């Protein structure tokens, strides 16, 4: 029996670690040829090596999603290698500064917005252009629980993740006539290297986060990847413009 993405090609950014890596591995297991991208070449190539070792097809492309030339080259690399892009997970992002808004430098603000929000814009811009020539596709953008509710002390991150939802909805409506579905996932606290780095800044943060989770635990990257997989699959054929919260009930409290 074929997987949910059998015969399809998937482009996944931020694939070196965390949710992006979990998505790349899962999408490959479900039958997709995977173009994995990240700024971290060593870890990104490790993701690709693991996919290939399992007998699946994958290619790595180093790219900074805040650089349009790099994004365009990444998309071109995917098409040159696999012939098309059927689905994409725009997952690359950074945590940004942890400080009260009035203490955040404009340089840190710009860097966070350029990577998290600008990166999703640039990826969609080039992915959509490619998908329109091939008759459709599905895109999932990684937002956050902080794209739905406030994240005190993380204003640039929170603003960027809220912005992703606006981009997602607009792009979904614009591209529905072309057979392109565009959705977002909003992960809650997830046990990833980026989350561990954030927790290390202040020992009290872990206690605060765990206290906010009804189930008493953080999510696993593989659990978030499953949501992205479903949205990219034909089983979500009438789902577009949605923001799927995957957080164990945290923001429902």
Spot the catalytic one: 157, 181, 198, 244: 157
Q: With CA atoms as reference, report the closest residue to 185 among 128, 143, 238, 235.
A: 143
Q: With CA atoms as reference, report the closest residue to 151 among 198, 106, 115, 118.
A: 198
Residues 96, 19: contact at Cβ < 8 Å? no
Q: Can you tell me the distance from the alpha carbon of 45 to that of 52, in angstroms, rounded to the nearest whole number?
A: 10
| 222 token code pair | 């593989």
Q: Can you tell me the distance from the alpha carbon of 60 to that of 35, in angstroms, rounded to the nearest whole number?
A: 6
Beta strand 243-246 with 180-187 is parallel
- Tell me whether residue 43 is one of the annotated catalytic residues: no
**Which residues are part of the catalytic machinery?**
157
């Amino acid at each position: 029996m074929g997987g949910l993405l059998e015969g399809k090609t998937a482009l996944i950014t931020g694939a070196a670690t965390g949710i992006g890596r979990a998505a790349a591995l899962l999408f490959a297991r479900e039958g997709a040829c995977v173009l994995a991208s990240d700024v971290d070449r060593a870890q990104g190539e490790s993701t690709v090596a693991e996919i290939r070792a399992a007998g699946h097809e994958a290619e790595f492309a180093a790219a900074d999603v805040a650089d349009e030339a790099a994004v365009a080259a990444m998309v071109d690399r995917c098409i040159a290698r696999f012939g098309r892009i059927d689905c994409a997970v725009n997952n690359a992002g950074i945590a940004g500064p942890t400080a009260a808004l009035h203490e955040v430098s404009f340089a840190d603000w710009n860097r966070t917005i350029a990577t998290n929000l600008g990166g999703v814009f640039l990826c969609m811009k080039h992915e959509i252009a490619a998908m329109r020539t091939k008759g459709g596709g599905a895109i999932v953008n990684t937002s956050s629980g902080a794209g739905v509710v406030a994240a005190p002390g993380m204003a640039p991150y929170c603003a960027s993740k809220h912005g992703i939802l606006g981009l997602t909805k607009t792009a979904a409506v614009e591209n529905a006539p072309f057979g392109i579905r565009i959705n977002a996932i909003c992960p809650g606290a997830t046990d990833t290297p980026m989350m561990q780095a954030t927790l290390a800044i202040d020992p009290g943060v872990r206690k605060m986060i765990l206290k906010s989770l009804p189930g008493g635990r953080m999510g696993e990257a593989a659990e978030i990847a499953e949501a992205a997989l479903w949205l990219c699959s034909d089983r979500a054929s009438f789902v577009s413009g949605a923001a799927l919260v995957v957080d164990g009930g945290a923001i429902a409290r």
